[in-house]
Amino acid sequence: MPELRKDPVVGRWVIIATERVRRPSDFTVPHYPRKGGPCAFCAGREDETPPEILAYRDESGERDGPGWSVRVVPNKFPALRIEGDLERRGLGIYDVMNGVGAHEVIIESPDHDRDLDALPASAVAEILRAYRERIADLKGDDRFRSVLVFKNHGVEAGASLEHPHSQLIATPVVPLVVADELHFARSYHGYRERCLFCDILTQEIEGRARILAEGTHVVAFAPFAARVPFETWIMPRRHAAAFEQSDDALLADCADVLRTVLRKLDRALSDPPFNLLLHSAPFGASDNPSYHWHFEIMPKLTGMAGFELGSGFHINPVPPEDAARMLRDTAID
């Protein structure tokens, strides 16, 4: 059972995951060869993964058989374990709890070689619906406080398998980054009685310099203080704290804009490595008037060195206005 330990100096939780040490890749930055399929995530090899948690397939298909378009399975090497109690306890001045959580893989397509940006918009919408369904389900487990959905694309961004997939991790504590967002958003709301994210969107839409793509329900833009070149956020126009409360129309529009952004990044930067992150309200804050869910897309073009690690500052060599203009100007078919 992995252990969750809290760093008392900065309030950060660390998963001390002893089970993972057996994978040799844990000691080195992985460099897997681009070797093509089929792999355990491909159609027809469903018996090579743990039994599925969820799949979208036509009526005739059987559980853990082929015929699916999106399939969710437990991670074979989970960072946190689904069984067990939290058992929060102290060790002198330190805080520790059992490493309980859910770690799932969302296989985005039965096809080994079709990345998110190469799928039709309807297939991307299905993936977003799978995110929604899994978050809504995990919300029912009262050991969990929050779910983070994320995607690592490319070795440099931490992908260790090439078949297109996202992951989600449900945690028994609110992650520090989400807690910080909640804190600043609440403080802004306390002063202005408006949602910080709604105000950001209003100012971005007025200014236009950092707007990248607009849908009926969502907007993609480069954030004012982008940490990395070509960082892009996608945010719903209407205030909404919890992603899992989105309706189908919103998800379809979001899929369309997400696909547009990924296609533009692919064309402009030749298939860059990137991380996709979904920040949504923790459980119990679904109706929060100050929080607003959003996707963050972080291309990995530069490394993180000592200054960034030690200070929390980031150095971004590309102004987000330039990045947004370059992506607006990038033609996609």
81 is a site residue for a copy of itself (CB under 8 A): no
Number of residues binding to a copy of itself, judged by CB under 8 A: 87
318 is a site residue for a copy of itself (CB under 8 A): yes
Candidates 55-63, 90-98, 121-129, 325-333 — which segment interacts with a copy of itself by CB under 8 A?
90-98
Tell me which of 39, 157, 326, 332 binds a copy of itself, using CB under 8 A.
157
**Which among 103, 153, 163, 165 is annotated as catalytic?**
165
- Strand bridging mode 146-153 / 274-279: antiparallel
What's at 304, amino acid-wise? Answer: M
Kindly tell me which of 249 and 315 has the beta carbon lying closer to a copy of itself: 315
Angle at 113 between CA 108 and CA 119, to 5 degrees: 50
79 is a site residue for a copy of itself (CB under 8 A): yes
32 is a site residue for a copy of itself (CB under 8 A): no
12 is a site residue for a copy of itself (CB under 8 A): yes
Kindly tell me which of 8 and 44 has the beta carbon lying closer to a copy of itself: 8
Q: How far is residue 134's CA from residue 136's CA, in Å, rounded to a whole number?
A: 5
15 is a site residue for a copy of itself (CB under 8 A): yes
Q: Supply the Cα-derived Rg of the chain in whole angstroms.
A: 20
148 is a site residue for a copy of itself (CB under 8 A): yes
Which pairs count as long-range contacts for 116-122, CB under 8 Å and 24+ apart, including other chains? 116/151, 116/153, 116/164, 116/258, 116/259, 116/262, 117/259, 117/262, 117/263, 117/265, 117/266, 119/259, 121/252, 121/255, 121/256, 121/259, 122/252, 122/255
What residues from 158 to 197 belong to the interface with a copy of itself (CB under 8 A)? 158-159, 167, 169, 171, 175-178, 180-181, 184-185, 188, 196-197
107 is a site residue for a copy of itself (CB under 8 A): no
3-class DSSP assignment, residue 299:
strand
Kindly tell me which of 151 and 217 has the beta carbon lying closer to a copy of itself: 151
Kindly tell me which of 80 and 255 has the beta carbon lying closer to a copy of itself: 80
Least distance in angstroms from the C-beta of 155 to a copy of itself = 8
227, two tokens:
């940490």
Tell me which of 111, 163, 279, 290 binds a copy of itself, using CB under 8 A.
279
Active site residue 165: yes
- Strand bridging mode 89-91 / 94-98: antiparallel
> Which DSSP category does 93 fall into?
T
> What's the CA dihedral at 298, 301, 303, 308 to 10 degrees?
-50
Least distance in angstroms from the C-beta of 291 to a copy of itself = 10
257, two tokens:
């804009």
86 is a site residue for a copy of itself (CB under 8 A): no
Q: How far is residue 228's CA from residue 216's CA, in Å, rounded to a whole number?
A: 27
Least distance in angstroms from the C-beta of 4 to a copy of itself = 9
Whether cis (ω within 30° of 0) applies to the bond prior to 273 is: no
Tell me which of 311, 329, 331, 333 binds a copy of itself, using CB under 8 A.
311
6 is a site residue for a copy of itself (CB under 8 A): yes
Give me the active site residues, please.
165
